[in-house]
Structure 1
């Protein structure tokens, strides 16, 4: 079964003699009639083993749980996911490759371009997700530390490292990141946390606050909180307040080049898709973010700001 699974597909069948030879590599000696019986047993087991008659009788595994286009889709999803680290991405893709023949696995390898993508840096995210699922299933609260990044690209824990205690509602994957959505009965509201920014997650003995299905619409919540929009790429230099270092690293990755301007501000030069969503992203920071170049974007921002001001006059 392993030989048929790993070394055959429609373009790469094996003859009975070739199967016997490959079994010999495992120190297994068999006769031809044994192979025929074993192939029939595997068919009864559920494997879709086909035979083609050419000059010889050729056997191959015709279908699998995942077809090649489906595996390509899954590889794309893994390699484009920001919340999956580079190390874990490579591990997952290797496992996906094992679900097809070694010949078709080469086509999956040609798709893999991970090294320059912005990826999560927190290897413990997988354990975080598992603990959160346990809490949701058990109906318990969780507590954890939460952190941002400083201008020096170092972790800085919020609330001086004090633990948050929350009632987990659900996990959602949005804007290429994993988020935990929580509910507070005290404030009658929802809050979300980036799972890769959560540290030392533990189950609490306390029962979590309950939110009814009618009170929570995950699709509507995600639509209000996150959004993506394409635009023309340009090199943009922006001056930010130092307090926004974590926001910039979240958006553009830890390898972003940050130049400290003074004790209050820093600048970054980025190749970004200039779009209404990008401009909206900038506007949300008010006077804590200022575009220094290009001049065309500065003029566009002035015009948009003027139009917005006129709308509220």
Structure 2
């Protein structure tokens, strides 16, 4: 009796193993252009230690399909089989691989790991369509292997509504990493993280500065989650609006600014501020744009990029600051 029970248990285990082996093989080695025959599947399962026949193959495929797999049986080709769909389509994987490959936030080593995981979601043949698009060696990449864990801790703190404390790094004139303000401890009530220009930014409330501020996540050092609950978001705070106003993620005074631009700059203005900004053609050569921005040095630097093709019309205080910055550059 005991021997019979053991034999039945082994049969169950063999069937489970055969199903998993069959699923993995179809996932890795088949697609619409590369189906496999029943005999090829029998031979492969036998090679892996799961001998069977045409009936077991058919029954196992029926079970896999019943539980969500998309395995197509091509009767016209003598019952050949292939995995018809996966979690991601090839165009989607290409987009994800390119995003990971080009991201400065993700280190080169971590990029290769992520790309490996993404390409594993395609068949061995489809990988060839993705791999040639991977170029990471000549791109500037982050050199901080702990970024993943910093982001993970920040997400935990945001979800649990707990304050965080940390130090903030920067570089001195000799390109040495140093702590800002002699190692000052920053305490922040985190509200969310924003992605902008290939960098992650923490957005949260600073009690010291009594306002919502941003920090580059890759410059955060010795992050800790505190036991204290966060200070609730100000009543007038909206993360989407904040992201639109604080361009390039540098703090400044949010203001409505009027720009006078050459017509050819319309695409650059829309790229920066979106299609919903207020614009008005003023001549055959120029248009006006009214934008809500954080008037920081970064905003002024963005305007400088276009030299005489873009002018700040108002308000007067912003215009004067821009003029003074131009004079200081000239010396």
Same fold (TM over 0.5): yes
What's the TM-score, normalizing by structure 2? 0.68
Inter-CA distance 109–312: structure 2 relative to 1 (3 Å threshold): closer
Contact 2:157 2:190 in 1 (8 A): yes
d(CA) in 1 for partners of 2:182 and 2:44? Answer: 62
d(CA) in 1 for partners of 2:142 and 2:195? Answer: 13
Q: Does 1:119 align with 2:130?
A: no
Contact 1:175 1:226 in 2 (8 A): no
Show the 5 A alignment for 1:13-162: 13-162=35-184
d(CA) in 2 for partners of 1:306 and 1:192? Answer: 25
- Aligned residue for 2:84, secondary structure, equals strand
Query: What is the deviation of 1:227?
Result: 5.0
- The higher radius of gyration belongs to 2
Contact 1:179 1:192 in 2 (8 A): yes
Query: What is the deviation of 1:282?
Result: 9.5
1:221 is matched with which residue?
242
Inter-CA distance 37–171: structure 2 relative to 1 (3 Å threshold): same
- Aligned residue for 1:211, secondary structure, equals coil
1:11 is matched with which residue?
33
What's the TM-score, normalizing by structure 1? 0.72
Contact 1:167 1:208 in 2 (8 A): yes
Query: What is the deviation of 1:166?
Result: 1.0
Inter-CA distance 59–127: structure 2 relative to 1 (3 Å threshold): same
* Runs of 4+ deviating beyond 4 Å: 227-231, 280-285, 300-309
d(CA) in 2 for partners of 1:130 and 1:176? Answer: 18
1:250 is matched with which residue?
none
1:245 is matched with which residue?
none
Show the 5 A alignment for 1:261-272: none
Query: What is the deviation of 1:179?
Result: 0.5
- Aligned residue for 1:209, secondary structure, equals coil
d(CA) in 2 for partners of 1:162 and 1:132? Answer: 19
Inter-CA distance 151–25: structure 2 relative to 1 (3 Å threshold): farther
Q: Does 1:199 align with 2:221?
A: yes
Contact 1:39 1:49 in 2 (8 A): yes
Query: What is the deviation of 1:303?
Result: 9.2
Inter-CA distance 303–95: structure 2 relative to 1 (3 Å threshold): closer
- Aligned residue for 1:114, secondary structure, equals coil
Inter-CA distance 204–312: structure 2 relative to 1 (3 Å threshold): closer
2:211 is matched with which residue?
189
- Aligned residue for 1:10, secondary structure, equals coil
Q: 1:179 aligns with which of 183, 201, 208?
A: 201
Gap runs ≥5 in structure 2: 1-22, 250-264, 269-296, 314-318, 325-331
1:288 is matched with which residue?
none
Gap runs ≥5 in structure 1: 232-279, 286-290, 292-296
Query: What is the deviation of 1:184?
Result: 2.9
Contact 2:170 2:179 in 1 (8 A): yes
2:258 is matched with which residue?
none
Deviations 1:124-161 (A, max 9, x none): 11100111111112221111111012333321111222
Residue range with higher mean Cα deviation, 152-161 or 168-177: 152-161
Contact 2:165 2:226 in 1 (8 A): yes
Contact 1:145 1:158 in 2 (8 A): yes
Residue range with higher mean Cα deviation, 23-32 or 139-148: 23-32
Contact 1:79 1:112 in 2 (8 A): yes
What is the aligned residue count? Answer: 251
